[in-house]
Amino acid sequence: MIELAPTHKYGLSLPTPVMPAAGVFGYGDVYRDLLEEGVLGALVTNPISLRPRNVAQGQRILTRGEQVLLHTGLPNAGAKAILRQYGKYWERSPVPVIPHLVATTPAETSKAAVLLSAARGVGGIELGLAENVSEDKAVELLHAAQDSGLPLIVQVPFSRVDALAPRLVEAGADALTLTAPPRAVLPLPDAPEDKAESGTRLMRGRLYGPAVFPLLLNVLARFAAPGANQLHVPIIACGGVASPADALTCISLGAAAVQVDVLVWRTPGVLREIAAAFKAL
C-alpha cells in the first residue's frame, strides 16, 4: 500500500502506485473492456469544474514527430452532472477515485470540492492550477479546495514548480503532482486555402510525449530525490512516463507514485505492465 496523505486524518492509500493523469482516462468506465479491475492504484478523472465547460474552438490536437500538443479547453458537464452520471460507478470503484478539480475562482472551487467529496468512493481531490496563477491565488484556491475535508493533491504547472511547490506544501497540500504538462506552441499545418493569408497560424496547448520525461526527471531530481526533497510530502510523477522502467526510475528519484498520460490512448496496457512491475518488486 502507498500512502499519499500520511498526515491527513483520513489518509489516501493506494494498492499500487500507478494511475492515469488527469484528462486521459475519462471519468472511470471507458476502459473497462481493455483494462481489468485492480490494475490501477487510483482513478484520476478528467478535469471537472463547478460549471459546465465547452470544448475549445479550433485545432485541439497536433502531433509533430513524437510530440503531441493538446488544447481541449477542459470541457466537462460540470460537477453536478458528472456526479449524477458517474457517482454510482465511483461508489463501486475498488480503488480511490480522485476527481481532478479545475481551479477557477475560490468560491467555485470550494463548492465543487464539497460536492465531489460527498460522493462515496472519492478518496481525495487533485487540484489543477492555471499556468500563470499567482502564488497567493494558488494558496487561496488550495484553501478553497480543502473545504472538501478530503486529502488534497495539487498538480503544479511545469514552469512554476520553483515558485509554487514550497508555498503549496506550506499551505497544507497533502501531496503534489509534478508536473502538469509544459505549455507549448506549434504552427498549424497550412490549409491550402490559407496560403495567401499573411502570418503563421499557431496552436497553443500542453505538450505531451516522450521528450517530457527527461524534463520531469530533472524536476524530480531537484524536488523529490532522496536527500533533495525539501517538500516533505509525497510526490506523484507525471509527464511522459512510457514504460515500467520509466516508472521505476521515477520511484528511485523519490516519487511515491506515477501518472501515465497520453500514452494510455495508444497503449492502454502500459498501465497493466507498470502495475505488474510494481507488484514484482
Partner 1 sequence: MKQQTATFRFALPSPPHWAVRLDVAQPPRAGQYVLAECGGPLREALFPADVDADGFTALTPRGHPITRLLPGASVDLLGPLGNGFRLDRVQRLLLIAEADKLSVLRPLLNAAPAVTLVVEGPTRARMPAPDSLPPAVELLLVTLDGSVGYLGPLESQEPAPAGQERIGPLLAELIAWTEWLCLACRRERYPALAGLVRQARLQPTAHFAQALVHTEMPCGVGACDVCRIPTRHGEKHVCTDGPVFDLLEIGNE
Residues engaged in binding a second copy (CB under 8 A): 64-67, 69, 159, 162, 182-187, 199-200, 202, 204, 207, 209-215, 217-218, 220-221, 245, 248-249, 252-253
Shortest Å, Cβ 96 to ligand FAD:
18
132 binds ligand FMN (CB under 6 A): yes
Taking the least distance from each CB to partner 1, the nearer of 31 and 158 is: 31
Element (H, E) at 82: helix 79-92
Shortest Å, Cβ 242 to ligand FAD:
18
Question: CA 200 from chain center: how many Å?
Answer: 31
| DSSP code, position 197 | S
Q: CA-to-CA distance for 271 and 243, rounded, in angstroms?
A: 9
Among ligand FAD, ligand FMN, partner 1, none, what does residue 66 contact (CB within 5–8 Å per kind)?
partner 1
Shortest Å, Cβ 9 to ligand FAD:
26
Number of residue whose CB is nearest ligand FAD: 23
222 binds partner 1 (CB under 8 A): no
Among ligand FAD, a second copy, ligand FMN, none, what does residue 114 contact (CB within 5–8 Å per kind)?
none
Give the number of residues written for the chain.
281
Among ligand FMN, partner 1, ligand FAD, none, what does residue 30 contact (CB within 5–8 Å per kind)?
partner 1
Which amino acid type is present at position 111?
K
24 binds partner 1 (CB under 8 A): yes
Q: By CB neighbour count within 10 A (0-12 exposed, 13-18 middle, 19+ buried), where does 58 fall?
A: exposed
Among a second copy, partner 1, ligand FMN, none, what does residue 187 contact (CB within 5–8 Å per kind)?
a second copy
In the complex, the residues that contact ligand FAD under the rule CB under 6 A are 22-23, 46-47, 56, 71-74, 100, 128-131, 155, 157, 180, 205-206
Distant-in-sequence, close-in-space partners of 69: CB < 8 Å, separation ≥ 6:
61, 62, 63, 184, 185, 186, 203, 205, 206, 207, 208
- Nearest of 100, 102, 115 to residue 43 by alpha carbon: 100
Among partner 1, ligand FAD, a second copy, none, what does residue 221 contact (CB within 5–8 Å per kind)?
a second copy
18 binds ligand FMN (CB under 6 A): no
Using CB under 6 A as the binding rule, the residues of this chain from 195 to 234 that contact ligand FMN are none
Reported for 29-33, long-range contacts at CB under 8 A and 24+ positions apart, including other chains, are 29/86, 29/89, 31/264, 31/268
- Nearest of 99, 75, 124 to residue 234 by alpha carbon: 124
Q: CA-to-CA distance for 124 and 108, rounded, in angstroms?
A: 18
Shortest Å, Cβ 166 to partner 1:
32
Q: CA-to-CA distance for 213 and 242, rounded, in angstroms?
A: 8
Taking the least distance from each CB to partner 1, the nearer of 24 and 180 is: 24
On whether the CB atoms of residues 105 and 130 are closer than 8 A, the answer is no
Grouping H, G, I as helix, E, B as strand and the rest as coil, residue 198 is: coil
Residue 233 grid coordinates: 510530502
Taking CB under 8 A as the rule, which mask of x and - marks residues 38-57 in contact with partner 1? --------x-------xx--
Contact positions vs ligand FMN (CB under 6 A)? 74, 102-103, 128-130, 132-133, 137
